[in-house]
């Protein structure tokens, strides 16, 4: 989305607060999201041009307390299939 | 979706492990006619002459040669169980001719549920002084849906002094 142009003419141009708001809004129109390493911190970098979010990768591991289990099954087409699912003991 | 039973099963326990020695009433469990999954091999029991030791066979893919085709000379039995989400076609081909010499001769094939004794398929021929013979190519029988293992037995007989030339193929032509 294109940046909002500052008002330089007419009665609105006399309102300096309006252009300050436009300056603050324009970086939000250029948000950039980057995935960073799993152990890197979550960061938000705000500049005059854009906003950059650096989000740590989730890692996709098995949640604590769960283990993967493999299941064989017959699907609706009478074909043998396998899938993993997560199980956790009831304590 | 049906959870896999087996890999072997009895009529009262669908979750038996591979027996140390093949045991008549502990059937291998198959996934309908899916013979292409290495994680779930399509297995059957076989016993020749109605008295020899039981062996385990594996059907690997379909084809007119290799593990899906069998040849034998005497009476033989094959049995297995299966699970299926829907009715499916068990396709097979067979041929048999007695090799006697003037004796009363008889060959027959019977596919049935050994628990209910209900036939799915049967064919036979007999004669005196002439060779008895039967054959079928890509015979198809519909086996019913089975959430828990359903049991199938195939009986091949040859009533003759000299036996017979039997050929049988799973899921394909001879």
Q: Which residues of A touch B1 (CB under 8 A)?
A: 73-76
B166 is a domain residue: yes
* Matching residue, tokens 């017979």: B164
Of A76, A77, A80, the CB nearest to B37: A80
Per the listing, tokens 């960061």 go with A43
Per-residue confidence band for A7, with pLDDT thresholds at 50, 70 and 90: confident
d(CA B6, CA A69): 17
Q: Does A74 touch chain B if contact means CB atoms closer than 8 Å?
A: yes
pLDDT by residue (tens digit) across A26-68?
A: 888 889 999 888 888 889 998 888 899 998 887 778 888 999 9
pLDDT score of B161 = 64
In a domain, B74, yes or no: yes
Task: State the pairing for strand pair B27-31/B76-84.
Answer: parallel
B31 with A76: Cβ contact below 8 A: no
How many domains would you assign to chain B? 1
Question: B3 in a domain, yes or no?
Answer: no
ipTM above 0.85, yes or no: no
**Euclidean distance between CA atoms B110 and B59, whole angstroms:** 20
The verdict on B37 touching A (C-beta cutoff 8 Å) is yes
Look at the pTM and tell me if it is higher than 0.95: no
Q: How far is CA B136 from the centre of its chain?
A: 14
Inside any domain, residue B38: yes
Look at residue B153 and tell me if it is in a domain.
Answer: yes
Do B130 and B56 form a contact (C-beta atoms < 8 A)?
no
Residue B1 lies in a domain: no
Q: Are B139 and B93 in contact (CB under 8 A)?
A: yes
pLDDT band at B102 (very low <50, low <70, confident <90, very high): low
User: Are B83 and A77 a contacting pair at CB < 8 A?
Assistant: no
Whole domain around residue B132: which residue ranges?
A: 8-171
Question: Is residue B2 one of the residues assigned to a domain?
Answer: no
B40/A80 CB distance under 8 A: yes
Which H or E run contains A20? helix A16-28
Give bridge partners of residue B82 from the DSSP assignment.
B30, B150
Q: Are B45 and B54 spatial neighbours (Cβ–Cβ below 8 Å)?
A: yes
B152 in a structural domain: yes
């Amino acid at each position: 989305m294109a940046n909002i142009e500052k008002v330089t003419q007419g009665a609105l141009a006399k309102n300096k607060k309006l252009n300050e708001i436009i300056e603050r809004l324009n970086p939000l129109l250029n948000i950039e999201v980057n995935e960073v390493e799993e152990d890197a911190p979550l960061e938000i970098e705000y500049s005059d041009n854009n906003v950059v979010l650096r989000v740590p990768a989730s890692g996709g591991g098995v949640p604590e307390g769960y283990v993967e289990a493999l299941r064989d099954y017959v699907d609706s087409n009478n074909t043998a299939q396998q899938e993993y699912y997560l199980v956790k003991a009831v304590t | 979706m049906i959870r896999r039973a087996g890999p072997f099963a009895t009529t009262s326990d669908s979750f038996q492990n591979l027996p140390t020695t093949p045991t008549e009433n502990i059937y291998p469990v198959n996934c309908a006619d899916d013979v292409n999954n290495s994680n779930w091999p399509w297995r059957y029991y076989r016993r020749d002459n109605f008295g020899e030791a039981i062996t385990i066979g594996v059907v690997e893919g379909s084809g007119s040669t290799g593990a899906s085709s069998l040849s034998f000379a005497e009476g033989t039995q094959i049995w297995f169980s299966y699970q299926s989400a829907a009715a499916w076609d068990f396709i097979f081909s067979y041929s048999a001719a007695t090799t006697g010499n003037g004796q009363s001769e008889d060959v027959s094939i019977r596919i049935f549920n050994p628990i209910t004794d209900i036939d799915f398929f049967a064919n036979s021929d007999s004669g005196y002084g002439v060779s008895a013979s039967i054959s079928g190519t890509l015979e198809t029988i519909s086996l019913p849906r089975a959430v828990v293992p359903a049991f199938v037995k195939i009986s091949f007989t040859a009533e003759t002094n000299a036996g017979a030339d039997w050929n049988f193929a799973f899921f394909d032509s001879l």
